[in-house]
Amino acid sequence: MKFINNVHAAQGNGGNLGYIYMECTKNQAASVHQYSLDGCGEFRLGGELGTTEALLCAACKCHRNYHRKVALLLF
Ligand SMILES: [Zn+2]
């Protein structure tokens, strides 16, 4: 896996497919049975690549998996 700016690229399947991670979809109010988002609009690497911190968003501190994943074709 290689990283091009904020695009998380994965090679394979005969093409160059990459992903970007958009707004945070973690429900911040689940513990009180409500629905509220933190307003984070785009995942930002939270640390150096290869570290666990990199998988946490620099803006909202949520794990990358909480951010909406969008597939891209890279040319
Ligand atoms: Zn975020």
How far, in Å, from the CA of 14 to the mean position of ligand 1? 31
Q: Which residues contact 67 (CB under 8 A, 6 or more apart)?
A: 21, 22, 23, 24, 25, 40, 42, 43, 57
Query: Domain residues of the chain, as ranges?
Result: 2-73
pLDDT, tens digit, 9 for 90 and up, residues 39-57: 999 999 999 989 999 999 9
pLDDT, tens digit, 9 for 90 and up, residues 6-52: 556 555 555 678 889 999 999 988 888 888 888 999 999 999 989 99
How far, in Å, from the CA of 72 to the mean position of ligand 1? 19
How far, in Å, from the CA of 28 to the mean position of ligand 1? 12
